[in-house]
Amino acid sequence: MLKLENIKKTFNPGTVNEKCAVQNLSLHLKPGDFATIIGSNGAGKSTMLNAVAGGFFVDEGSIILDGKAITFTPEYKRSRVIGRLFQDPLKGTAPHMTIEENLALAFLRTSRGNAPFSRISRRDKEFFKEQLALLDMGLEDRMKQPVGLLSGGQRQALTLLMATVVPPRLLLLDEHTAALDPGTADKVLELTKRVIAKNHTTCLMVTHNMQQALTMGNRTLMMDNGRIVLDVQGEERKSMTVSDLLEKFRTGAGRDLDNDRILLSAEE
């Protein structure tokens, strides 16, 4: 479904700020895989997601989605089949446009991307209202209100709906609940699991929470220094504890995990 083959990306090459963010990184996701990704700051997690989304072109290697090479496909074309949520709830929506207008943009881009004169019908608007009602946040009664008036949690839930209103081939979640309070984060996570399960969506989710990394989805990836050092799934993952995960990281990376944010999450 998704294949990353020996991708490499170096930022600011030839300068004092040169940084090799990912190197010789390979990954194969099967249809319906839901893989969580954990690692320290600078491990390459977001860089990998940016490479897949088309935020930049990789220096080496190839990216293949559904058997089609997209290594040099522009980001705006990839966005028709790849949905994405960011850590910042302010990203992914247009604050001065209404909820209905934001949904219309997402819907037209993905479902009718090649039809320049497409319009939203009354039936489409009713569909938006039905989908908003499923979020259970009362947004279906506020479709004419600007998105900028929503809370962070409401905005992130809307962004999730925008990314999946037409089920994408691949969904990328980059710590999409990290900026929310715990209660709201739990609600958005439940929405996320429900949407992914309903559409059998293939997903990559970055998290800093080790327990989430073991309980969300069906695969756990750990990254360090721009490479994947651990990939567990199946029966091995089902019986794995956080302590086991830390030990596996030590073996794969050759050092202890030293990120306080991640380690503290293990004690929550």
**Where are any strands of DSSP class E within the chain?**
2-11, 19-29, 34-39, 60-65, 68-69, 82-85, 170-174, 202-206, 219-224, 227-233
Q: Largest alpha-carbon pair distance within the chain?
A: 58
Distance CA 260, CA 264 (A): 6
Query: Look-up: residue for tokens 């004419």?
Result: 144
pLDDT of residue 249: 86
Q: CA quadruple 234, 238, 241, 242: dihedral positive or negative? A: positive
Contact 140, 132 (CB under 8 A): yes
pLDDT tens digit sequence for 214-223? 999 999 999 9
**Residue 254: per-residue pLDDT:** 84
Assess contact for 62 and 43: CB atoms under 8 A. Answer: no
Report the pLDDT value the prediction gives residue 206, as an integer from 0 to 100: 96
Q: What pLDDT digit, counting tens, does each position of 53-73 carry?
A: 999 999 999 999 999 999 999
Instruction: Give residue 114's pLDDT.
Output: 56
Q: Output the pLDDT for position 168.
A: 95
Q: For the chain, report the end-to-end CA distance as a whole number of angstroms.
A: 35
Find out whether 164 and 171 touch, Cβ atoms under 8 Å: yes
All residues at 6 or more sequence positions from 21 whose CB lies less than 8 Å from its CB, including other chains: 9, 10, 11, 42, 44, 47, 226
Output the pLDDT for position 74.
96
Report whether 205 contacts 36 (CB < 8 A): yes
pLDDT in tens, 172-198: 999 999 888 888 889 899 999 999 999
Mean of the per-residue pLDDT values of the chain: 91
pLDDT tens string for the chain (268 positions)? 999 999 999 999 999 999 999 999 999 999 999 999 999 888 999 999 999 999 999 999 999 999 999 999 999 999 999 999 999 888 889 999 999 999 999 998 887 655 555 688 899 999 999 999 989 899 999 999 999 999 999 999 999 999 999 999 999 999 999 888 888 889 899 999 999 999 999 999 999 998 999 999 999 999 999 999 999 999 999 999 999 998 988 888 888 887 766 766 655 5
What pLDDT score does 263 carry? 65
Q: What is the pTM of this model?
A: 0.92
pLDDT of residue 260: 61
